[in-house]
Amino acid sequence: MTVMIVDDEELARSYLREMLADHPEIDIIAECANGFEAVKAAAQQKPDLLFLDVQMPKLDGFEVLELIGPGVNVIFVTAYDSYAMRAFEVHAVDYLLKPFGKDRFESALERAKNRLSEKMPVPAELSAASRPSAHLDRIVVRDGARVHIIPVSKLDYAEAQDDYVMLASAGKTYLKQQTISSLEACLDARQFIRIHRSYIVNLERVVKMEPYSKDSRIAVLSDGKQLPVSRAGYQRLTALLGE
């Protein structure tokens, strides 16, 4: 079994190394002190199991898991119990609450071994990674070895492109593997409106609406960008704008 340890605290990583030292069948192939390192190392090393902290600088554990994608088993290791439900929604093997002892660690590791030996597939839908309990305040996008972090407040609009969404922010665009419906579920409906089956717009960016044809309209954004507005989208917009 190949293992990666991801934690921003050296003491925590050292403790996990100590726990794993009793298992010669396990190979620690990487240790990472932050989420960016973890995403890069996981893409290169493709571990069987990830010991993953939740609260880390820049990228948290759920964002790391989202960027890595399906296929890796994960044991979350954290000092906070408030993420437990979300951890199991992303099909975590276990959730180790710091501080934990050897017996609790061995129990979690045994569960991971059983899952791997049974060759149980990791479900592809990482629902909690893309659908947190609160509205998103930022969106992470992986572009090869690079990771972009887009504050939601700076998102102008999103456009559906098959199984991807194109995110427009500050004159740049980013492509993310996610459906537009799942993105919509993550955003604050008071600020982001589904104006068309293929478009979500930041209400703050809309400066006016104009007729396009007999039965359709366009939304004009503050940068001059024009987006199609469906009949249902127009009703949503006017209701929120109080027109």
Same structural domain, 23 and 98: yes
More confident residue, 105 or 130: 105
Do 142 and 100 fall into the same domain? Answer: no
Q: What is the pLDDT of residue 121?
A: 52
Cβ atoms of residues 21 and 13 within 8 Å: no
225 and 162 both lie in a single domain: yes
Identify whether residues 11 and 123 lie together within a single domain. Answer: yes
Last residue of a domain, one of 128, 152, 172: 128
**C-alpha closest to that of 164 among 180, 155, 154, 177:** 177
pLDDT tens digits for range 36-81: 899 989 988 899 999 999 999 888 999 998 888 767 899 999 998 8
Q: Which residue has the tokens 């605290």?
A: 9
Q: Which of 104, 128, 152 is the last residue of a domain?
A: 128
Q: What pLDDT, on a 0 to 100 scale, did the predictor assign at position 153?
A: 92
At 43 the pLDDT is 85
Residue ending a domain, among 128, 143, 177, is 128
Question: Do 103 and 220 fall into the same domain?
Answer: no
Q: What average pLDDT does this structure show over 182-186?
A: 89
Question: How far is residue 66 CA from its own chain's centroid?
Answer: 4
Q: Which residue has the higher pLDDT, 88 or 27?
A: 27
Residues 118 and 143 reside in one and the same domain: no
What is the C-alpha to C-alpha distance for residues 53 and 76, in angstroms, rounded to an integer? 6
- Using one digit for the tens of pLDDT, what is the confidence trace for 152-179? 999 999 999 988 899 999 999 999 988 8
Structural domain harbouring 110: 2-128
Confidence band for 223, pLDDT divided at 50, 70 and 90: very high
Closest CA to 18 of 100, 114, 110: 100
Residue 222 has pLDDT above 60, yes or no: yes
Q: Are strands 27-32 and 2-6 parallel, antiparallel or unpaired?
A: parallel
Residue 122 reports pLDDT greater than 70? no
Question: Mean pLDDT of all residues in the chain?
Answer: 87
* pLDDT tens digits, one per residue of 202-219: 999 999 888 887 777 999
Judge if 195 and 147 occupy the same domain.
Answer: yes
- For range 90-108, the mean pLDDT: 92
The residues, any chain, with a CB within 8 Å of residue 141's CB and separated by 6 or more, are 147, 148, 149, 150, 167, 174, 175, 176
